[in-house]
Amino acid sequence: MSTTKSIQSVERAFSILELFQQTGCAEHSLKEIAQALELNKSTAFGLVNTLTELGYLQQNRENQKYALGLRLLSFSNTVKVQNIIIRTVHPYLEQINRKYGETVHCAVRQGDGVIYIDKVEATGSIHISTQIGTLNDLHCTGVGKCILAYMPPEDQERVLNGPLKTMTIHTVTNAEQLRREIETVRRQGYATDSEEIAIGLSCLAVPVFSGPDTVACAISVSGMTVRIQNARDNGLLEDLQRLAREISRQIFGS
- Which run of H or of E encompasses 118? strand 113-120
Task: Give pLDDT tens digits for 45-69.
Answer: 999 999 999 988 999 888 999 998 8
Averaged pLDDT for residues 173-187: 96
Domain of 132, CATH number, reads 3.30.450.40
Q: Does the pLDDT of residue 153 top 60, yes or no?
A: yes
Shared domain for 48 and 84, answered yes or no, is no
Of 223, 224, 218, the C-alpha closest to 243 is: 218
Shared domain for 126 and 240, answered yes or no, is yes
The half-sphere exposure of 32 on its side-chain side, counting CA atoms within 13 A, is 12
Task: Give pLDDT tens digits for 78-96.
Answer: 777 778 888 999 999 999 9
CA terminus-to-terminus distance, the chain: 51
Shared domain for 61 and 84, answered yes or no, is no
Task: Give pLDDT tens digits for 196-254.
Answer: 999 999 999 999 999 999 999 999 999 999 999 999 999 999 999 999 999 999 988 86
Amino acid found at 16:
I
Residue 4: predicted pLDDT: 53
Domain hosting residue 125, numbered range: 74-252
CA distances (Å), origin 94, targets 101, 221, 240: 10, 11, 12
Count of structural domains, the chain: 2
The CB-based long-range contact list for 76-81 (8 Å cut-off, 24+ gap) reads 81/216
Shared domain for 97 and 139, answered yes or no, is yes
Q: Does the pLDDT of residue 3 top 70, yes or no?
A: no
